[in-house]
């Protein structure tokens, strides 16, 4: 593009954005190198250099004041009470006992000063309390002989002894806060409730059973999107540790997290999960993904630039030239960050394409052995070139699969605490409840409230589905 003759304001604005970014990066590099030279020489960075760097950054140059001539300034302390907007608020008035209402000076009566109190804040805790409630449901009759009984409280299981609130708490404590059932048993015993882990498991299983229609709907809704993330991680099996681990698969969209635990991470499992999907799948470089995609004509795999960046970052310790690739990948992210959604297609087509061309040119000309860390990083990137370069053809393509990796962290932390599952029923409950917990968090909902709403709606109308945005708009 010839800047002298270009008349498209939008294209010129994009040029200005990128030039400003490159100029700031150059200024930072100049300042870093100057500081290294000054350190080697044992002399301070020159005033002229400081002014030049400031001007390159578009800043108003400030005179350099030697440290010994600067006025000492006290740093403002950031200490203080942290705001607590989510906590319920209450007031409590503390008064003197009758015996203390005598003036210590003259022996007269101390009277309250109207409207005068010394105020402060106190964060307190209300311990969890378990109660045994005797439920009485009133019966009614008509002269005609008809009889009705008032509805009772919501329970985890019809006719069961435990409330729905109790069951939801057990489930969210395990799958949201990673508290094994045995640990919950000990906590409850300390609060006066005697219960077994088997009883708690029955509550969890019932909650998962009620929530299963919503869990299935989350997957169906996710597979209607034009792009999804896919990842998997091992899930220990406690029934027979000599057997291979199960695999927890994770499918994500910007609003949905769907977990399911399967026997393996084979191409057959890939096809069973997403074989009918039509769109982009962002995933890592697993051979079974590629094999599965070949058997699914609607699937197009997309590479993850975060994985590529990490490979060059690992190589940079021994090969500083890897920072060239890291800088260019960083620029891809900056272009996306600076572009409005309606501009992304144009900026990617223009600037991201230029950056990718520069990266490809560098990778194919840099002298390095393929057996080194840098050589392996380049070889891996070139192998995935088709998947990684898809971003310039469609603005909806994600740069990386980080959202899916974040969504799978909860189960990873959970398996360190409760070590996996003992049975297929256990894997099903974990799949359902981790899906609901992570989806709630993604939509900024309290997981406990979301699961409660899902189960309560399903109990009123068997099979009904409650999506998180239904709850948010209620």
Bridge partners of 262, per DSSP, are 247
- Residue-wise pLDDT tens digits, 64-100: 434 444 444 555 556 678 888 888 888 988 898 988 8
Task: In whole angstroms, give the CA distance from residue 304 to residue 221.
Answer: 23
Q: How many CB atoms lie within 10 A of CB 359?
A: 23
| pLDDT classification of 12: cutoffs 50, 70, 90 | confident
Long-range contacts formed by 294-299: CB under 8 A, 24+ apart? 295/267, 295/271, 296/271, 299/274, 299/275
pLDDT at 323 over 60: yes
pLDDT reported for residue 157: 93
Question: What b/e string do you get for 308-317 counting C-beta neighbours within 10 Å, with b at 16 or more?
Answer: bbebbeebbe
pTM to 2 decimals? Answer: 0.79
Distances (CA, A) of 324 to 312, 363, 365, 399: 9, 10, 13, 18
For residue 331, is it within any domain?
yes
Long-range contacts formed by 10-17: CB under 8 A, 24+ apart? 10/343, 10/346, 11/350, 14/343, 14/346, 14/347, 14/350, 14/351, 17/338
CA dihedral 400, 403, 408, 414 (to 10 degrees): 130
Domain that holds residue 369: 311-397
For residue 81, is it within any domain?
no
pLDDT reported for residue 33: 65
For residue 21, is it within any domain?
no
**pLDDT (mean) for 429-447:** 97
- Residue-wise pLDDT tens digits, 230-265: 999 999 999 888 889 999 999 999 999 999 999 999
Beta carbons of 227 and 398 less than 8 angstroms apart: yes
- Of 210, 133, 214, 130, the closest CA to residue 171 belongs to 210
pLDDT reported for residue 239: 87
- Residue-wise pLDDT tens digits, 206-235: 999 999 999 999 999 999 999 999 999 999
pLDDT reported for residue 228: 98
For residue 353, is it within any domain?
yes
CA-based torsion, 411, 414, 416, 419: positive or negative = negative
Distances (CA, A) of 371 to 207, 212, 330, 366: 52, 49, 25, 14
pLDDT reported for residue 39: 61
pLDDT at 360 over 60: yes
**pLDDT (mean) for 104-108:** 88
For residue 446, is it within any domain?
no
For residue 385, is it within any domain?
yes
pLDDT reported for residue 65: 39
For residue 346, is it within any domain?
yes
For residue 262, is it within any domain?
no
pLDDT reported for residue 80: 76
| pLDDT classification of 178: cutoffs 50, 70, 90 | very high
- Residue-wise pLDDT tens digits, 273-290: 999 999 999 999 999 999
Domain total for the chain?
A: 1
């Amino acid at each position: 593009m010839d800047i002298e003759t270009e008349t498209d304001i939008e294209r010129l604005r994009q040029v200005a954005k990128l030039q400003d970014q490159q100029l700031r990066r150059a200024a930072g590099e100049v300042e870093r190198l100057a500081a290294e030279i000054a350190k080697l020489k044992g002399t301070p960075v020159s005033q002229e250099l400081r002014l030049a760097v400031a001007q390159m950054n578009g800043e108003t140059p400030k005179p350099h004041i030697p440290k010994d001539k600067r006025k000492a300034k006290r740093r403002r302390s950031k200490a203080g009470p942290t705001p607590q907007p989510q906590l319920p608020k209450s007031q409590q008035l503390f008064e003197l006992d009758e015996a203390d209402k005598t003036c210590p000076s003259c022996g007269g009566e101390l009277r309250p000063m109207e409207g005068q109190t010394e105020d402060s804040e106190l964060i307190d805790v209300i311990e969890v309390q378990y109660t045994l409630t005797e439920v009485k449901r009133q019966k009614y009759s008509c002269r005609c002989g008809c009889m009705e009984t008032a509805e009772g409280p919501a329970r985890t299981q019809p006719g069961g002894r435990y409330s729905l609130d109790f069951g939801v708490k057990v489930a969210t404590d395990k799958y949201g806060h990673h508290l094994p059932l045995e640990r919950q048993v000990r906590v409850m015993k300390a609060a006066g409730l005697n219960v077994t882990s088997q009883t708690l498991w029955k509550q969890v299983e019932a909650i998962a059973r009620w929530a299963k229609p919503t869990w299935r709907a989350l997957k169906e809704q996710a597979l209607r999107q034009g792009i999804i993330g896919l990842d998997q991680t091992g899930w220990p099996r406690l029934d027979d540790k000599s057997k291979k681990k199960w695999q927890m698969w994770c499918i994500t969209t910007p609003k949905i997290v769907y977990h399911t635990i399967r026997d393996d991470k084979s191409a057959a499992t890939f096809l069973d999960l997403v074989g009918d999907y039509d769109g982009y799948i962002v995933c890592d470089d697993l051979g079974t993904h590629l094999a599965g995609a070949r058997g699914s004509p609607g699937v197009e795999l997309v590479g993850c630039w975060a994985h590529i960046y990490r490979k060059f970052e690992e190589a940079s310790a021994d090969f500083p030239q890897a920072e060239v690739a890291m800088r260019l990948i960083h620029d891809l992210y900056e272009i996306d960050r600076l572009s409005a959604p309606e501009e992304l297609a144009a900026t990617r087509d223009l600037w991201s394409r230029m950056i990718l061309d520069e990266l490809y040119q560098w990778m194919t000309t840099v002298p390095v052995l393929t057996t080194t860390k840098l050589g392996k990083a380049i070889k891996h990137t070139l192998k995935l070139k088709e998947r990684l370069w898809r971003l310039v053809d469609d603005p909806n393509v994600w740069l990386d699969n980080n959202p899916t990796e974040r969504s799978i962290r909860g189960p990873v932390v959970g398996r360190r605490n409760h070590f996996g599952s003992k049975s297929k029923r256990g894997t099903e409950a974990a799949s359902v409840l981790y899906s609901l917990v992570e989806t709630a968090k993604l939509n900024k909902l309290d997981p406990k409230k979301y699961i409660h709403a899902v189960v309560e709606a399903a109990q009123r109308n068997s099979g009904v589905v409650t999506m998180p945005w239904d709850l948010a708009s209620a």
